[in-house]
Chain A
Amino acid sequence: MKVKVVVTLKNGVLDPQGKAIQQTLNGMSFSDVKEVRQGKYFDIEVNIEDEKKAKAEVEEMCKKLLANLVIEDYKIL
């Protein structure tokens, strides 16, 4: 099955790319954009059919590689 993961920066952690995107959007007259935080999205196909087991395995991957828990949070969708 496929498991989807989103990794985002924790609140309060500086995100220069997000800031640049926000300023660009404002410059393009999307003046309502208050803040942009950029993250990462992963589509992971595993050879496990049991959803619970697959998600538990992906959670380990998040902790060990996909996210750096010093600055990032992960969410398994």
Chain B
Amino acid sequence: MRVLLVEDHRELAETIATVLRREGLAVDVAFDGRQALAQTGVYDYDVIVLDRDLPGVHGDQVCRTLIDQGSQSKVLMLTAADALEDRVEGLGLGADDYLTKPFAFAELIARIRAINRRSGPPLPPVLARGDLRLDPALRVATRRGHRLALSPKELAVLEYLLTAHGRVVSAEELLGRVWDQAIDPFTTTVKVTIRRLRAKLGDPPLIETVREGGYRI
């Protein structure tokens, strides 16, 4: 899942991004509204975590612009203003969810996952294919009841392939959804990760390679 985190407090932004990345999310960071809008023009984000009190272009304005542009990204507003009016106003601007600072990471991550689930076709809380099970909330994947020791990225790739419902997913798409902008687009990371994932999933093979660089479960 590709996430854009917009937060003007640099230290806080970096800390949140670190934890979210550890959870297997692909996180880009923007430090002000202008940068956020520039980023959303280039990349297609699943979820935008938006601080409301931003210098330059205000968070409310960012939210409004995204809605006007018909953005498909889900917006989670993260702010210090917790009065009832503020929350109602924030949701009224088009935000999909609202979380006040300070927050617990468990809640932030759960909410990001929850609003992302709403974007596509309805997804079950536990993804399954054959004898493979993946619980996105607990970050646990099992095969035949045995827990698989997957890295966050491998888990994210597996999750993305499972949510594609048998559709062919290209390497570029995986790169755009599972990795953040820090990744070199000409890298073989995807191929390497898939190879490792296949090895960990064991037999019978689940991930199928489709001609011209696509994968499918």
Do A and B form a real pair?
no
